[in-house]
Amino acid sequence: MARIVLHKELFDYDSEIRKSYPVVCGVDEAGRGPLAGDVYAAAVVLKEGTLIDYLNDSKKLSEKRREELFDVIKEKAEAYCIATASVQEIDSINILNAAMLAMKRAVAGLVVKPDIALIDGNRTPELECRTQYVIKGDANSASIAAASVLAKVARDRYMRELAEKYPQYAFEQHKGYGTKLHYEMLEKYGISDVHRRTFLKKLYDEK
């Protein structure tokens, strides 16, 4: 018989919040650090009593497990939305503001209006509902963990699509992060229109 792993403490955290705010939304982003590509955010509303096996901080899960959970979360969530802020927006308003914008878009796209949005990290975007930031939220709250998985998987899939359009940069391998391979490809091929020029200002000026 297969062993099921349930991180019940994550769901207990959200249950406690629901005593004051019945509709809880978890929000997280993916892709603040990379040198290329859009930043992604997801918002997820889980009903009281909804349990998802293996759900955890996306960084603690294998890529295979995240892919499996992506569909399970979408199926079990009362509501979810995945949103982005573009490379152009990142360069225009900076990555922090762009990540906040993507989060705001994700919450605005929910078909269910949340009473409170739990935001991973130590800052919150301006939303129409009450907000509360949660340090290491994806390791504490089930709804934030669910949002972290949706955002991470959606962005990884997007980076694999970019890899097909820009095969010389090997985006499928490093997902846009500043790895040795990525910098080698930048030196060889220069900066593309999907790179964040504000992240590569020195290299951009040299080119």
| Cα dihedral 138→140→144→146 (10° resolution) | 80
Cα–Cα dist 31/54, whole Å:
23
HSE-CB of 170 using CA atoms within 13 angstroms: 14
Q: Judge whether residue 2 has pLDDT over 90.
A: no
Q: Judge whether residue 205 has pLDDT over 90.
A: no
Cα–Cα dist 86/165, whole Å:
17
Q: Where are the domains of the chain?
A: 8-159
Task: Report whether 162 contacts 173 (CB < 8 A).
Answer: no
Indicate the range of 34-38, 128-132, 189-193, 198-202 predicted with least confidence. 198-202
Topology at the third CATH level for domain 8-159: Nucleotidyltransferase; domain 5 (3.30.420)
Mean pLDDT over residues 72-93, rounded?
Answer: 98
Q: How confident is the model at residue 1 (pLDDT cuts 50, 70, 90)?
A: very low
Please give the pLDDT value at position 73: 98
Residue 80, phi then psi, degrees to nearest 5 = -155, 155
Q: Judge whether residue 207 has pLDDT over 60.
A: no
Q: How confident is the model at residue 206 (pLDDT cuts 50, 70, 90)?
A: low
pLDDT in tens, 156-196: 999 999 999 999 999 999 999 999 999 999 999 999 999 99
In sequence order, which ranges of the chain are alpha helices (DSSP H)? 8-18, 63-76, 87-93, 95-108, 142-165, 171-174, 180-189, 201-206
pTM attached to this predicted model: 0.94
